[in-house]
Amino acid sequence: MTESVLEVRHVSSYYTKARRLSGTHSGFGERDMQVLRDVTFSIQKGETLGLVGESGSGKTTLCRAVLGLGMDYEGEIIHHTDHPQMVFQDPYSSLNPARTVGWTLREALRAGERRGKRASRPLVPEILGQVGLSEEYIDRYPYELSGGQRQRVCIAAAVIQRPQLILLDEPVSALDVTIQAQILRLLVRLKKEFGLSYLFISHDLNVIYQICDRVLVMKQGEIVESGDVRQVYEDPQHDYTKMLLAAVD
């Protein structure tokens, strides 16, 4: 097998009780404990791994744990590459409203240089071109951009440091369908161009099917099914996967 870029071994995570109380406490409703239960998987180089599940299934918690964004967890997370990046769902809170597109991208470059990636410094207009935006966007503020354009800028900022792994948290869910298709195509192209690996999180199995090689199905913090996308689609084993598939059919 090829080398892996990320290994997650037996990761569990708990929400403290106090936090739960202040957040979503209630005696009613369909609610899950926000816990990761013994999650194990790895991502190979050049692979797109899909992670599917409903809200509250622990997808985002897993993401934060992988990126080390202030999540406490048990188990092991081994990175075989430097500094993975992330693209978030909501393109409206993903860009600093007080800064222009150019500033954000230059800032990413600057931070990359501090990490010693001076060698192949790309230029801001060049990067914008790579994500399908023209130079005139350099001086635009986020509020002047559409959802799709913002997501392009976010993707540009994510690939600017040439990471090997990018986490995509529902990157197209907030977009119109035709824009979704464009962004998905962009992601595929960038992956080929830069040899990226993706962890692609979505609640939409159809989107996962389009872009991923393998898929993990997550329910209440547990991976209930995993395998090759086609295989999972054609022959789902777990009831939950079957329900999810039936829902998007």
Partner 1 sequence: MDQTAGEPAGVRSMDRHGEKEGTRQTFGRTSCGDSGDEMTDRQSQKNSGQQAPDLLKVSGLRVHFHNAAPERYAVNGVSFSLKRGDTLGIVGESGSGKTVTAMCVSGLMPRGKADEEGSILLDGREMFSCSEENLRRIRGQDVGVVFQDPMTTFDPLCRIGRQVEEALTVRGIPKMERRKRAVEAMGLAGLRDAEELYSRYPYELSGGMLQRASIAAAMITKPKLLICDEVTTALDVLIQEQILELLRNLNEDYGMTILFISHDLHVVKKICKSVLVMERGKIVESGETAEVFARPQHAYTKKLIASIPARAERCRTYD
Partner 2 sequence: MKIRKNGFLKTGEIMSLVLATVIVTGFFWTPYGTTAMNAAEKTLPPSLHHLLGTDNFGRDVFSRVISGAGTSFLIALGVVAVGCIGGVLIGSLCGYFGGIADAVLMRVCDAITAFPAILLALVVVSLFGGGMANILLCLGLLFIPSFARVVRTEVARVRDMNYIQSARLMGVSTGRILLRHILPNTFPVLLPAVTIGFNNAVLAEASMSFLGVGIQPPQASLGSMLKDSQTYLNTAPWYALGTGGMIVLLVLAVSLLSEGIQQGTGRGQV
Contacts to partner 1 by CB under 8 A? 26-31, 54-55, 176-181, 184-185, 187-189, 203-207, 209-211, 233, 243-244, 246-248
Q: What angle do CA 210, 84, 72 make, to 5 degrees?
A: 105
Which of the stretches 28-36, 107-115, 176-184, 211-219 binds partner 2 when contact is defined by CB under 8 A? 107-115
Judged by beta carbon distances under 5 to 8 A according to partner kind, the member of partner 1, partner 2, none in contact with residue 28 is: partner 1
Contact positions with partner 2 (CB under 8 A) in 52-71: 67, 69
Q: Which residues contact 137 (CB under 8 A, 6 or more apart)?
A: 101, 128, 145, 149, 153
Judged by beta carbon distances under 5 to 8 A according to partner kind, the member of partner 1, partner 2, none in contact with residue 204 is: partner 1
Judged by beta carbon distances under 5 to 8 A according to partner kind, the member of partner 1, partner 2, none in contact with residue 203 is: partner 1
Core vs surface per residue 16-48: b (16+ CB within 10 A) or e: eeeeeeeeeeeeeeeeeebebbebebbbbbbbb
The residue among 8 and 211 lying less far from partner 1, judged by its C-beta, is 211
Q: In the set 16, 114, 120, 178, which binds partner 2 (CB under 8 A)?
A: 114
The residue among 157 and 245 lying less far from partner 2, judged by its C-beta, is 157
Output the six-digit token pair for 160: 């600017």
The footprint of partner 2 on this chain (CB under 8 A) covers a number of residues equal to 26
Judged by beta carbon distances under 5 to 8 A according to partner kind, the member of partner 1, partner 2, none in contact with residue 115 is: partner 2
Judged by beta carbon distances under 5 to 8 A according to partner kind, the member of partner 1, partner 2, none in contact with residue 143 is: none
Q: Binding to partner 2 by residue 154, rule CB under 8 A?
A: yes
The residue among 111 and 248 lying less far from partner 1, judged by its C-beta, is 248
Beta carbons of 37 and 221 less than 8 angstroms apart: yes
Q: For partner 2, what does the binding mask look like between residues 74 and 93, x meaning CB under 8 A?
A: ---------xxxx-x-x--x
Q: Binding to partner 2 by residue 138, rule CB under 8 A?
A: no
Q: Binding to partner 2 by residue 215, rule CB under 8 A?
A: no
- From residue 238, give the alpha-carbon distance in Å to each of 8, 174, 187, 203, 245: 22, 28, 29, 16, 11
Q: Binding to partner 2 by residue 107, rule CB under 8 A?
A: yes
Binding site for partner 2 (CB under 8 A): 67, 69, 83-86, 88, 90, 93-99, 104, 107-108, 111-112, 114-115, 154, 157-158, 161
